[in-house]
């Protein structure tokens, strides 16, 4: 059987991303044929490894292993003027001050090339896996950055979301951060969970593994050392609120 791995909400958390990618390699050694990875946005935005995350993804992109789209925080970085002098425009974004500080830090650490990398990311993912057409977006199909798809809803809720995408067999979304696997009469809706700040009970980095033929979906959880990120947040002088997000999975 052939699979794709679907990840989302990395948010500049390199240790979590590294553990997820390591787990994917372990699954391959165990016999899973994983032909491609999809990352559904919020590549950067909160935690203090934005440049390292981009370097990691760049290597995968060069090897044709991963397709990446923009998320909500990526979009803030992408909206910066490439000829502007700095990140002052972030002050006008409607976020709490601690998130603005994290975004300004991200903007500076990425540098010109890193910001161009983010600007070059597409908003939507359209691909074909096996015999199935897929559509991917960070928020929701009609609102790619501000839209939210809620977890643990009745099937009718997901049918409403899937109806405009009925030409596709599967819709990947990142916005709930909780894993979602909902089958509707129009197709399947999947959220892979969160890598960077998972809100689940054990707060493990979570991604999805999808069979490209049957669209059967399983969720994989991995542990990672949050103390590494906490220490770096302190060293970089970033807001303490980011540590709370790291350990509790909620902004």
Class for the domain spanning 2-248: alpha beta
Report the C-alpha gap between 233 and 109 in whole angstroms: 14
Mean pLDDT per 10-residue section of the chain, whose length is 251 residues: 95 97 96 94 96 93 89 96 86 95 97 95 94 96 94 96 95 94 96 92 92 94 96 97 94 85
Computed from CA positions of residues 83, 48, 233, 72, in that sequence, does the dihedral angle turn out positive or negative?
A: positive
Q: Dump pLDDT digits (tens) for 47-70.
A: 999 999 999 999 888 887 899 999
In this predicted model, what pLDDT tens digit does every residue of 82-109 receive, in sequence order?
887 789 999 999 999 999 999 999 999 9
The two structure tokens encoding residue 125: 């993912």
Would you state the pLDDT for residue 145? Answer: 95
Q: What is the pLDDT of residue 156?
A: 96
Domain ranges of the chain: 2-248
Per-residue pLDDT, 3: 95
* The overall pTM is greater than 0.85: yes
Q: What is the pLDDT of residue 65?
A: 83
Residue 83, pLDDT score? 80
Question: What is residue 1's predicted lDDT score, i.e. its pLDDT?
Answer: 85
3-class SS shares of the chain: helix, strand, coil, % to 5: 35, 20, 40
Radius of gyration of the chain (CA): 17
User: Residue 160: its pLDDT value, please?
Assistant: 95
Pairing mode, strands 217-222 and 132-137: unpaired
Question: What's the pLDDT at 250?
Answer: 87
């Amino acid at each position: 059987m052939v699979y794709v791995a679907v990840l989302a909400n990395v948010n500049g958390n390199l240790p979590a991303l590294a553990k997820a990618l390591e787990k994917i390699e372990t699954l391959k050694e165990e016999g899973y044929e994983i032909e491609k990875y999809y990352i559904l946005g919020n590549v950067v935005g909160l935690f203090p490894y934005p440049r390292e995350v981009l370097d990691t993804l760049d290597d995968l992109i060069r090897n044709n292993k991963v397709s990446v789209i923009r998320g909500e925080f990526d979009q803030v970085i992408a909206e910066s003027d490439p000829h502007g002098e700095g990140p002052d425009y972030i002050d006008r974004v409607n976020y709490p001050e601690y998130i603005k500080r994290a975004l300004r830090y991200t903007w500076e650490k990425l540098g010109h090339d890193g910001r161009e990398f983010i600007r070059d990311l597409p908003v939507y993912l359209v691909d074909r896996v096996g015999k199935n057409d897929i559509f991917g977006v960070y928020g929701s199909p009609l609102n790619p950055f501000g839209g939210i798809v809620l977890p643990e809803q009745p099937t009718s809720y997901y049918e409403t979301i899937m109806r405009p995408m009925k030409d596709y067999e599967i819709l990947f979304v990142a916005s709930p951060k909780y894993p979602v696997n909902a089958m509707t009469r129009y197709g399947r809706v999947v959220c892979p969970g969160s890598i960077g700040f998972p809100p689940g009970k054990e707060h493990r980095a979570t991604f999805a593994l999808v069979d490209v033929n049957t669209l059967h979906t399983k969720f994989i959880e991995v542990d990672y050392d949050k103390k590494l990120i906490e220490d770096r947040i302190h060293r970089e002088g970033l807001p303490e609120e980011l540590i709370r997000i790291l350990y509790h999975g909620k902004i």
